[in-house]
Amino acid sequence: MSKTKSAGSTRLGRDSNAQYLGIKRNQGQQVSAGEILLRQRGSRCLAGVNVGMGKDHTLFALKAGRVSFKERNKTTFTGSKRKAKVVEVL
């Protein structure tokens, strides 16, 4: 038996599936209830007015309206302040 495989095979030729993360609806766009606004890992952006957050931190519209992105000061659990992006539907 041969010690190595024949030509044409490789040990490294694997890749992971695409995650399709990111912003799906931008500032000022009209959305209807239930539309996905943003897919993310962790809560990088927070849910604001009329926006819900799924168990995988996906942000979605609870009501129809226009998308708005804002920055808000948030206090962390240590008491320090950080700027947080907030997504709202108005």
Enclosing domain of residue 63: 28-89
Residue 32 maps to a domain: yes
Q: For residue range 14-32, what is the model confidence (pLDDT) as tens digits?
A: 889 999 999 999 999 999 9
The number of distinct structural domains making up the chain is: 1
Q: Strand 59-61 vs strand 45-47: parallel, antiparallel, or unpaired?
A: unpaired
Is 17 a member of any domain? Answer: no
Residue 5: pLDDT over 80:
no
Q: Residue 47 belongs to a domain with what CATH number?
A: 2.40.50.100
Q: Is the pLDDT of residue 9 over 80?
A: no
Q: Is residue 5 part of a domain?
A: no
Q: Which amino acid is at 55?
A: K
Whether 51 is in a domain gets the answer: yes
Question: What pLDDT digit, counting tens, does each position of 31-77 carry?
Answer: 999 999 999 999 999 999 999 999 999 999 999 999 999 999 999 99
| 88 SS3 class | strand
Residue 13 lies in a domain: no
Rounded Cα distance, 68 and 86, in Å: 8
